[in-house]
Amino acid sequence: MSATLIDGKAFAARVRDKVADHVTRLREEHGIVPGLAVVLVGEDPASQVYVRSKGKQTVECGMASFEHKLDADTPEADLLALVAKLNADPEVHGILVQLPLPAHLDSDLVINSIDPAKDVDGFHISNVGLLGTGQKSMVPCTPLGCLMMLRDHHGSLSGMNAVVVGRSNIVGKPMAQLLLGESCTVTIAHSRTKDLPEVCRRADILVAAVGRPEMIPGDWVKPGATVIDVGINRIDAPEKGAGKTRLVGDVAFDGCAAVAGAITPVPGGVGPMTIACLLANTVTACCRANGLAEPEGLTA
Ligand SMILES: NC(=O)C1=CN([C@@H]2O[C@H](COP(=O)(O)OP(=O)(O)OC[C@H]3O[C@@H](n4cnc5c(N)ncnc54)[C@H](OP(=O)(O)O)[C@@H]3O)[C@@H](O)[C@H]2O)C=CC1
Ligand SMILES: Nc1nc(=O)c2c([nH]1)NC[C@@H]1CN(c3ccc(C(=O)N[C@@H](CCC(=O)O)C(=O)O)cc3)C=[N+]21
169 and 249 co-located in one domain: yes
pLDDT grade for 48, boundaries at 50, 70 and 90: confident
Q: Do the domain assignments include residue 58?
A: yes
157 and 227 co-located in one domain: yes
159 has binding-site annotation: no
How far lies 125's CA from each of 13, 17, 109, 142, 216, in Å?
30, 31, 10, 17, 31
The answer to whether 260 and 5 have CB atoms below 8 angstroms apart is no
CA of 93 to the centre of ligand 2 (A): 21
CA of 119 to the centre of ligand 2 (A): 17
**Residue 49 confidence (pLDDT) above 90:** no
Residue range(s) defining the domain that contains residue 67: 31-115
Q: Do the domain assignments include residue 199?
A: yes
71 and 145 co-located in one domain: no
Q: Give me the pLDDT at residue 1, please.
A: 73
156 and 76 co-located in one domain: no
* CA–CA separation, 147 and 265 (whole Å): 16
CATH number for 230:
3.40.50.720
- What's the structural domain count of the chain? 2
Identify which ligand lies nearest to the alpha carbon of 245: 2
Q: Give me the pLDDT at residue 45, please.
A: 80
Q: How many CA atoms lie within 13 A of 4 on its CB side?
A: 13
62 and 178 co-located in one domain: no
Q: Could you tell me the pTM of the whole model?
A: 0.98
177 and 98 co-located in one domain: no
Identify which ligand lies nearest to the alpha carbon of 8: 2
Please say whether the dihedral angle defined by the alpha carbons of residues 156, 176, 130 and 106, taken in this order, is positive or negative: negative
103 and 171 co-located in one domain: no
110 and 183 co-located in one domain: no
Average pLDDT over residues 264-269: 98
Q: Do the domain assignments include residue 295?
A: no
Q: Give me the pLDDT at residue 275, please.
A: 97
Q: Do the domain assignments include residue 21?
A: no
261 has binding-site annotation: no
93 and 154 co-located in one domain: no
CA of 159 to the centre of ligand 2 (A): 30
99 and 154 co-located in one domain: no
Q: Do the domain assignments include residue 159?
A: yes
148 and 60 co-located in one domain: no
Q: Give me the pLDDT at residue 14, please.
A: 98
Q: Do the domain assignments include residue 284?
A: no
115, 149, 171: which is the final residue of a domain?
115
H or E stretch covering 234: strand 233-236
**Residue 44 confidence (pLDDT) above 90:** no
44 and 102 co-located in one domain: yes
Q: Give me the pLDDT at residue 47, please.
A: 86
Q: Do the domain assignments include residue 181?
A: yes
Q: Do the domain assignments include residue 293?
A: no
Which of 191, 228, 278 to mutate for ligand 1's pocket (most ligand atoms within 8 Å of CB)?
191
* CA–CA separation, 232 and 71 (whole Å): 25
CATH number for 108:
3.40.50.10860
- Look at ligand 1, atom 12, and give the residue with the nearest C-alpha: 168
- Look at ligand 1, atom 3, and give the residue with the nearest C-alpha: 271
CA of 264 to the centre of ligand 1 (A): 17
Q: Closest ligand 2 atom to the C-alpha of 99? A: 8
- Look at ligand 2, atom 11, and give the residue with the nearest C-alpha: 99
Over pLDDT 90: what percentage of the chain?
96
Left if phi > 0, otherwise alpha if psi is -120 to 50, otherwise beta: which for 84? Answer: alpha
Catalytic positions: 54, 98, 121
